């Protein structure tokens, strides 16, 4: 195909300003077109590359769409049973305190089946990073309702919308764990715009920097889209997320240096 507006003369190593990091394996990601998981993977790998800690980092992948994260992140990874990533990460960090350790978990993994592991790891003040991808749904298994599903939100198991009277309230687990003394840094970000992506990267950087201080859990929630589960185009899903998810899950820091942000 002829590229009409191409400028091959500009494509030199000195002029290179952005390319996919080599810490992402050179293979197609398994995610649906437009899914935020891919952006978070890339920002995470960029942070490890910039800190030059890839060989000293161990990740724990969840069960969920990102179960295959070990295929995409070119670092040491272990797969946990569904929801148990914080327990496995606890063992890894305690056995290898000089390693950087993180879990990467969806909302079904972290806030449903793994609620106990999440809360206790946070309460114990383990020294690893939790990356929490909240798309308000069980993406991998076909879009079932999750604890994080919004009131009135349709899913395959709440086809008429989540009815609070019958199905209970959404669980704001991030606000909940921020109350625990073992969490040191808790923030909520997103990745649907360039500015949001830059902020998420900064938050991830801070979370890994804090592992050196050994003051407890650094927790980065990323409110993300699941356009397949939400039955929308990727662009529609990002707008829907801004209009509906952000009011319920407001972006910004929740706890900094062990203090709740007022």
Ligand X SMILES: Cc1ncc(C[n+]2csc(CCOP(=O)(O)OP(=O)(O)O)c2C)c(N)n1
- Which residues contact other proteins by CB under 8 A? 1, 3-7, 10-12, 14-21, 24, 28-29, 31-39, 42, 191-194, 197-198, 233-235, 238
Asked if residue 100 lies in contact with residue 215, where contact means CB atoms within 8 angstroms, the answer is no
- Residue 38 sits in the site that holds ligand X (CB under 6 A): no
Which residue lies nearer to ligand X by CB, 137 or 197? 137
Report the site for ligand X in 75-94 (rule: CB under 6 A).
82
Q: Residue 146, interface with ligand X (CB under 6 A)? A: yes
From the CB of residue 239, how many other CB atoms can be counted at a distance below 10 Å? Answer: 13
Nearest to 103 by CA among 126, 86, 84: 86
Tell me if 229 sits within 8 A of 155, measured CB to CB. Answer: yes
CB 44 within 8 A of CB 73: yes
Q: How many whole angstroms separate alpha carbon 54 and alpha carbon 180?
A: 30
Quick check: 226 binds ligand X (CB under 6 A)?
yes
**Among the residue ranges 7-15, 18-26, 135-143, 250-258, the one whose residues contact ligand X (CB under 6 A):** 135-143
User: At which residue do the structure tokens 């990267």 appear?
Assistant: 201
107 binds, among other proteins, ligand SF4, Mg ion, none (CB under 5 to 8 A by kind): Mg ion
Told to check if 227 binds ligand SF4 by CB under 6 A, we report yes
The one among 21, 61, 135, 174 contacting Mg ion by CB under 5 A: 135
- Identify the three-state secondary structure at position 45: helix
Q: Which is nearer to other proteins, 146 or 196 (CB)?
A: 196
Among residues 59, 15, 16, 17, the alpha carbon closest in space to that of 40 is found at 59
- Nearest CB to ligand X, comparing residues 144 and 206: 144
Distance CA 184, CA 195 (A): 24
Among 149, 189, 190, 228, binds ligand SF4 (CB under 6 A): 228
- In the beta sheet, which residues pair with residue 50? none
**Number of residues near ligand SF4 (by CB under 6 A):** 12
Does 111 participate in binding ligand SF4 (rule CB under 6 A)?
no
Q: Contact between 106 and Mg ion (CB under 5 A)?
A: yes
Pairing of strands 57-61, 100-106: parallel
- Smallest distance from the beta carbon of 110 to ligand X, in angstroms? 7
| Residue 140 sits in the site that holds ligand X (CB under 6 A) | yes
Closest distance of CB 56 from ligand X, Å = 27
Q: What is the C-alpha to C-alpha distance for residues 108 and 62, in angstroms, rounded to an integer?
A: 10
Tell me which stretch binds Mg ion (CB under 5 A): 32-40, 106-114, 203-211, 230-238.
106-114
Paired with 188 in beta bridges are: 221, 252
Burial label for 17, CB within 10 Å (0-12, 13-18, 19+), is: exposed
Site string for ligand SF4, 130-149 (x = CB under 6 A): -----x---xx---------
Strand, coil or helix: what is 165?
helix
Chain residues binding ligand SF4 by CB under 6 A are 31-32, 35, 37, 65, 135, 139-140, 226-229
């Amino acid at each position: 195909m002829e590229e009409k507006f191409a400028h091959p003369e500009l494509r030199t190593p000195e002029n290179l300003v952005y390319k996919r990091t080599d810490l992402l394996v050179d293979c197609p990601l398994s995610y649906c077109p437009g899914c935020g998981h891919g952006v978070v993977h890339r920002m995470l790998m960029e942070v490890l590359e910039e800190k030059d800690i890839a060989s000293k980092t161990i990740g724990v992948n969840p069960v969920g769409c990102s179960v295959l994260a070990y295929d995409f992140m070119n670092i040491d990874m272990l797969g946990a049973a569904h929801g148990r990533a914080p327990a496995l990460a606890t063992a890894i960090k305690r056995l290898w305190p000089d390693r950087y350790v993180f879990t990467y978990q969806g909302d079904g993994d972290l806030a449903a089946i793994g609620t106990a592991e999440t809360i206790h790891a946070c309460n114990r003040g383990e020294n690893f990073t939790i990356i929490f991808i909240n798309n308000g749904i069980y993406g991998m298994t076909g879009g079932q309702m999750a604890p994080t599903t919004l009131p009135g939100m349709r899913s395959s198991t709440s086809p008429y919308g989540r009815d609070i009277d019958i199905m209970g309230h959404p669980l704001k687990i991030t606000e909940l764990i921020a109350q625990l003394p073992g969490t040191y840094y808790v923030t909520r970000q997103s990745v649907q715009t360039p500015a949001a992506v830059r902020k998420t990267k900064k938050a991830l950087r801070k979370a890994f920097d804090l592992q050196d201080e050994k003051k407890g859990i650094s927790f980065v929630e990323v409110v993300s889209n699941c356009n397949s589960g939400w039955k929308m185009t990727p662009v529609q899903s990002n707008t829907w997320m801004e209009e509906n998810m952000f009011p319920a899950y407001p972006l910004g820091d929740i706890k900094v240096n062990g203090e709740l942000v007022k």
